[in-house]
Amino acid sequence: ESSLDVTSSPNLTGRLALVTGASRGIGYHIAKQMAAAGAHVIAVARTVGGLEELDDEIKAEHARTGKGEATLVPLDLADMAGIDRLGGAIHERWGKLDILVANAGVLGVIAPIGHVEAKVFDKVMTVNVTASWRLIRSVDPLLRAADAGRAIVLSSGAAHSARAYWGPYAASKAAVEALARSWADETKNTPLRVNIVNPGVARTAMRAQAMPGEDPETLPHPSETAAGIVGLAGPDITETGKIWDVELGRFASWQKPR
Ligand code: NDP
């Protein structure tokens, strides 16, 4: 297996990066750190307040260092036609895309499978799986055409551990991993590199929903988690179709012991 220092921020000057779920949590910090590394970030989420906060931070950093820019895209990823339009809009405005971070996700509910409501199950599959496929389809030609295209798909240890009460979420992450690995195989003879991330535990709204009894202060801040991910967007990455385990700090195609 290979390892690399993804904690050292790559130079992303001139790179255009689409980051979903950029209004809070891990995606917010991936977007912020990619901008600090020089990228122009297209930040997608529903919550305009969170996107504007990100934009303020990126503008302040730009004023200090001259690096980074953001374009905000308020979009509900359940809006499949909206996702379809996004690829075309990026093509029209910039004529390229270098980086995709498919980070947005929902937990749904922690409950026995027999107690899960249909609309909750559908929502988890829609946002975590169908929207990811639709987004990949929307930007695939742009990413293949980039000189060093990079795609990063956020998964979870739940995809492999399949714990009691995590059924819908675990199923969605297993599905999105399979999708990403198929895409990696399809694109292996292009410059595009597609990798999956298991971010481990991070102090976010989703984690608090999953584990309400837990003291958030004991968990890594999402900025730390993001710092273990952004290196996958760097031009030196050669791996594709692998799972990057943030806690282990290496690619791992095996199930992490617990
Ligand atoms: P948060 O709940 O903090 O953030 C989720 C992000 O996804 C928000 O920006 C939210 O934006 C966006 N999002 C959710 N639904 C939609 C939608 N319908 N349309 C557009 N955007 C949407 O989650 P985390 O930061 O914790 O999680 C980020 C990723 O990491 C997820 O894929 C998650 O499964 C994964 N992960 C997280 C772990 C953790 O411990 N935190 C552990 C393992 C995996 P908005 O609501 O504004 O639309």
Q: Which domains does the chain have, with CATH numbers?
A: 16-251 (3.40.50.720)
ipTM over 0.90: yes
In this predicted structure, what is the pLDDT of residue 1?
39
Q: Which long-range contacts (CB under 8 A, 24 or more apart) does 121-124 make?
A: 121/168, 123/78, 124/168, 124/169, 124/172
Phi (first) and psi of residue 100, to 5 degrees? -120, 130
In this predicted structure, what is the pLDDT of residue 9?
81
Position in ligand 1 atom list of the atom nearest CA 219: 40
- The answer to whether the CB of 86 is under 6 A from ligand 1 is no
In this predicted structure, what is the pLDDT of residue 252?
86
In this predicted structure, what is the pLDDT of residue 184?
97
Catalytic residue among 169, 183, 244, 251: 169
Q: Of 165, 156, 105, 162, which is closest to residue 129 (Cα–Cα)?
A: 105
In this predicted structure, what is the pLDDT of residue 135?
98
Per-residue pLDDT of the chain (258 residues; tens, 9 = 90+): 344 555 568 999 999 999 999 999 999 999 999 999 999 999 999 999 999 999 999 999 999 999 999 999 999 999 999 999 999 999 999 999 999 999 999 999 999 999 999 999 999 999 999 999 999 999 999 999 999 999 999 999 999 998 999 999 999 999 999 999 999 999 999 999 999 999 999 999 999 999 999 999 999 999 999 999 999 999 999 999 999 999 999 998 655 444
Cα–Cα distance measured from residue 110 to residue 117, given in angstroms and rounded to the nearest whole number? 11
Residue 56, Cβ neighbours under 10 Å: how many?
A: 11
Rounded to the nearest angstrom, the distance between the alpha carbon of 133 and the centre of ligand 1 is: 16
Q: Is 165 a catalytic residue?
A: no
Contact 35, 67 (CB under 8 A): yes
Contact 248, 25 (CB under 8 A): no
- The answer to whether the CB of 127 is under 6 A from ligand 1 is yes
Substitution site in 20, 28, 103 for ligand 1 pocket (most atoms within 8 Å of beta carbon): 103
In this predicted structure, what is the pLDDT of residue 258?
47
Phi (first) and psi of residue 117, to 5 degrees? -75, 145
**HSE (side-chain half, CA atoms, 13 Å) at 251:** 18
Nearest CA to ligand 1 atom 10: 21
